[in-house]
């Protein structure tokens, strides 16, 4: 009774504060075990995201206690005579409001009391199945917590993102990529099974074998077809240590040739390949000593001027590679590395190496986050731009963007990642769109906007620069595909999906026919009242 009274009080506050047109009994009948909150702090948190460039106005925030809570709320939205939208939010790390909603309820999947349950009353704690090498986790679980839990069994997921304080459901709704993707594929290629609440409020278990259309739709589906409440993630034996190496290049063709050679080794024995291949562009000295890691000692920073990069317009390229090992193999790791490095053509004497525990390598960005937070430089706008660029046009992209539009004007506002991936590691049945070439590159401009008096570091300048980059690609016929895509019109989304739009639209009609899920993506307007959409 006390819970119902509190819920009625919350609904009344909704009516008073935001003019909710919903019949209060529609929510009262849900018998939610979690908390439906209209507290200003909860609503404010759900109104913003990491990008810091957009604000929404949700009615309320649900902190679910179980999968059933998620299903009940979505079903209420689907059956409501008035209609409202629902968006699932993990760690709030989206850039352009993708996990936010106006005129609806945000389901806060991450954080909270930790008392949530998976379907059928199973406990929320991750469940490792050692014999079959997988772990079942709540969709709002952060990857850092999945890692900590599986390491207790000597196991770890195969594929990662560079930053681990992201939710499982959030990264699986996009793809989930890092330097392991050339070998294991993205995170969506390492999932065995999902529990999903569709836009009809139906809880469905899906996999390759059953409800496969939903399974493939949700993976990389940008939250359009359902909310992931449980994921079964593939595991492998966890290494203990990582040899982390950076080598430098002044010639872009040589740099990409070596990257492409390294990812071509994905089918070789572990001793004959690296475990992680990434890279980044250095247009400013500070970027090689950047916030992504404390790789180089602050007392001995790397100087671009000492590496004779002036002949390349001051631009350098850094190949970042790792070799995993256990301490008992420490004697052989040097021999394996020497054999691999001899086949690369980096600048002589530009090899920088460090050894660290596996967990510390995977969690490297978080340490830098803490430093930025201490300086008030984390909660600033992040006009990030992530693109998949076809291998056949990557040199044109280098000339027009790295050496052209960006030049030497980035000034340490954030790293510019570039690394290739093998398309055969991606399942074409999922909802993700990639270039139609065997190899394509991720190019990620992970910049932060600062109000420090420098025009080139303002949000307006960087946003305009992003538009210039996309316009350059369009004008030059470079068919890039945005990763973590953001568009403002449905026509742009149709252009993004090209001939796969028909399938994407059909899946939407089947699994979320009223278009109530993830409206922050701006792909479909709610069908119950299109004029109510704020965008």
Residues designated catalytic: 93, 162, 278
What lies within 8 Å, CB to CB, of 143 at 6+ separation is 157, 160, 161, 164, 165, 166, 167, 168, 171
Q: Distance of alpha carbon 265 from its chain centroid, rounded?
A: 25
> What gap in Å lies between CA 50 and CA 93, rounded to an integer?
5
DSSP 8-state code for residue 455: G
**Cα–Cα distance list, 524 to 108, 225, 227 (Å):** 22, 11, 16
Q: Assign 319 to helix, strand or coil.
A: strand
DSSP structure string for 145-210:
HHHHHHHTTTEEES---S---SBHHHHHTT---STTHHHH--GGGSEEEEEEEETTS-EEEEESSS
Site of tokens 């026509």: 491
| C-alpha closest to that of 326 among 265, 278, 270 | 270
> What gap in Å lies between CA 441 and CA 375, rounded to an integer?
33
Quick check: 466 and 383 in contact, CB under 8 A? yes
What lies within 8 Å, CB to CB, of 179 at 6+ separation is 162, 276, 277, 278, 320, 321, 322, 419
């Amino acid at each position: 009774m006390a819970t119902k009274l509190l819920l009625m009080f919350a609904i009344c506050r909704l009516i008073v504060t935001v003019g909710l047109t919903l019949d209060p009994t529609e929510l009262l009948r849900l018998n939610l075990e979690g908390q439906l909150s209209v507290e200003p702090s909860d609503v404010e948190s759900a109104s913003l995201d990491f990008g810091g460039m957009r604000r929404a106005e949700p009615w309320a925030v649900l902190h679910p206690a179980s999968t059933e809570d998620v299903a009940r709320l979505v079903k209420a939205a689907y059956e409501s005579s008035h209609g409202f939208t629902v968006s699932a939010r993990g760690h709030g790390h989206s850039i352009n409001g993708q996990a936010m909603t106006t005129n609806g309820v945000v389901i806060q999947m991450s954080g909270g009391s930790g008392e949530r349950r998976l379907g059928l009353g199973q406990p929320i704690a991750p469940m490792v199945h050692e014999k079959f090498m997988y772990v079942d986790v709540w969709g709002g679980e952060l990857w850092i917590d999945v890692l900590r839990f599986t390491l207790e069994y000597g196991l770890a997921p195969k594929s990662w993102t560079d930053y681990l304080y992201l939710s499982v459901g959030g990264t699986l709704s996009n793809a989930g990529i890092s330097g392991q993707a050339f070998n294991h594929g993205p995170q969506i290629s390492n999932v065995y099974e999902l529990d999903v609440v569709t836009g009809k409020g139906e809880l469905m278990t899906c996999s390759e074998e059953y409800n496969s259309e939903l399974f493939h739709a949700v993976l990389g589906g940008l939250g359009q077809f359902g909310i992931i409440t449980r994921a079964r993630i593939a595991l492998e034996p966890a290494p203990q240590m990582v040899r982390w190496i950076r080598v430098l290049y002044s010639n872009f063709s040589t740099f990409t040739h070596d990257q492409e050679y390294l990812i071509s080794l994905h089918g070789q024995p572990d001793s004959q390949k690296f475990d992680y291949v990434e890279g980044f562009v250095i247009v400013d000295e500070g970027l090689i000593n950047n916030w992504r890691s404390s790789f180089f000692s602050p007392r001995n920073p790397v100087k671009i001027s000492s590496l004779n990069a002036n002949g390349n317009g001051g631009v350098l390229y850094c190949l970042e590679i790792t070799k995993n090992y256990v301490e008992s193999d420490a004697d052989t790791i040097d021999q394996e590395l020497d054999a691999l490095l001899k086949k690369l053509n980096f600048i002589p004497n530009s090899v920088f190496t460090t050894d660290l525990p596996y967990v510390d390598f995977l969690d490297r960005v978080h340490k830098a986050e803490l430093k930025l937070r201490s300086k008030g430089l984390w909660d600033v706008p992040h006009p990030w731009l992530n693109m998949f660029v076809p291998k056949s046009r990557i040199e044109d992209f280098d000339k027009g963007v790295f050496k052209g539009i960006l030049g030497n004007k980035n000034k340490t506002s954030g790293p510019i990642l570039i690394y290739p991936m093998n398309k055969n590691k991606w399942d074409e049945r999922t909802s993700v769109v990639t270039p139609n070439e065997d190899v394509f590159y991720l190019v990620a401009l992970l910049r932060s906007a600062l109000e420090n008096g420098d025009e080139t570091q303002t949000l307006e300048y960087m946003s305009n620069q992003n538009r210039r980059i996309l316009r350059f690609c369009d004008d030059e016929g470079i068919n890039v595909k945005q990763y973590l895509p953001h568009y403002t019109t449905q026509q742009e989304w149709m252009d993004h999906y090209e001939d796969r739009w028909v399938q994407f639209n059909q899946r939407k009609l089947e699994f979320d026919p009223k278009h109530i899920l993830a409206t922050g993506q701006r792909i479909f307007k709610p069908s119950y009242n299109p004029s109510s959409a704020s965008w």
